[in-house]
Amino acid sequence: MLFLALVFFATFCVCWLGVALWVIYKQLCTEYIPKGIGHPVKLRTLSYMLQLSLTWGRILEKLRICSAPQFVCFLQDLLPLKKDASVTVTDLHFGTIPVKLYQPKAACGTLRTGIVLYHGGGSILGSMKSYNGICLHLCKESDSVILSVGYRKSPKHRFPVMLNDCVVATVHFLKSLGAYGVDPARVVVFGDSMGGAVAATLCKLLQAQPGLPRLRAQVLVYAALQAVDFQSPSFRQNHNVPLLTWDLAFYCWTSHLAISPHWRRAVRQGAHLTPEFWQQYGKWLGPENIPERFKPPGCRPPQPVPVDEDAYLETTMARREACSPLLTPDRLMARFPEACIVSCEYDVLRDHSLLYKKRLEDLGVPVTWHHMEDGFHGVLSTLDLGCLRFPCSLRICDLIVHFIKGL
């Protein structure tokens, strides 16, 4: 019995070492960290931890134990939960949807700003617990009431489950503002990455909800604002930059929209989009809308390729406005609330923020824009990671706090 146990232990150690070395090799061969990013060793370490977790998750997925994203989320939630003596945190359920409510303990003679937060993670990663530090910081520094929404994630729950959960939780909160000491005239939706897509989509959906307070502002941090075009300058420039590489972005996209990975090549080449699509939406998505300084030297528009009709049909869901807020008609977007937009230089989704900013400004919607020259996708999530925290994450939080205090 002891012999079998030793054999099992040795086999496990060899497998673990093999996987660890494979991830290091793959990372060094495929990922690129630009010189403009400070602390490259930190980013390399974070990326390695993420890729190692995903690799083991895929192994467990093959063994039909759990999905890869479930395993990564399990590891993320093992981190100790930070507490702050000046903030009261309450776990609630709005129906079946779990939420966390953050309220400053200090007495206040007036109603506070309310912030509804939708965490990022490409719809497959992240959780209320992993965003706890961000919520505590925003609550304390901006003296606001924060509602963090624990929506259901892909691939177990595909689109539109995530969006529906966020709509239900937000509507319930807006109907109960008095119970939480929130000013109905100062409610903000906040989201990063995929959470930013939800925040932007809600700016449209809540327009049709009668009797609800009008949103005061939207705060979007490196938001995913369209799910159709993967050939913009930022995708070509940053496709191998962690933490969000092209491969991971495509994996999130297929998981969220239940699209087969078989269409990878067609999507990357743009063969899933017809000339009619570009005729209708090119005025909003075309690279001419992106400032020249964000286009790499020698960057040329991608060459058109023949349309793959099957890929076009299979990716129909991605062209819905609920998946791609940048496709929202002018008449609706012109009624969007004031925006605070944060973009990062070394992010595949950088151009989403630039295009969204331009559309809002063209329609007369006030925009406060901050660009992190040393930022990368996911940097905000390092705020609570101790020695692995990037200074950029604190700068982003402080800029958001300043914006919220000014409302």
User: pLDDT digits over 316-335, tens only?
Assistant: 999 999 999 999 999 999 99
Alpha-carbon gap, residue 337 to 352, rounded angstroms = 18
Residue type, 4: L
Which SS3 state, helix, strand or coil, does residue 326 take?
Answer: helix
pLDDT score at 13: 77
Burial class (CB in 10 A: 0-12, 13-18, 19+), 316: exposed
346: Cβ contacts below 8 Å, ≥ 6 apart: 34, 36, 37, 238, 241, 374, 375, 376, 377
pLDDT score at 199: 98
pLDDT score at 7: 59
Kindly tell me the sign of the dihedral angle through the C-alpha atoms of 41, 46, 50, 52.
Answer: positive
Domain residue spans of the chain: 2-76, 84-407
Instruction: Take residue 273 and report the two structure tokens written for it.
Output: 């989009």
Name the stretches of the chain with pLDDT < 50: none
User: pLDDT digits over 125-155, tens only?
Assistant: 999 999 999 999 999 999 999 999 999 999 9
CB 196 within 8 A of CB 163: no
pLDDT score at 297: 77
Q: Which residue has the tokens 């087969």?
A: 260
pLDDT score at 210: 86
pLDDT score at 49: 95
CATH code of the region 84-407 = 3.40.50.1820
pLDDT score at 296: 79
pLDDT score at 314: 94
Q: Could you give the strand order of the β-sheet that contains 145-149, starting from the edge strand earlier in sequence?
A: 87-94, 97-104, 145-149, 112-118, 182-192, 217-221, 338-346, 367-376
Active site residues: 193, 347, 377
Rg, C-alpha atoms of the chain: 21
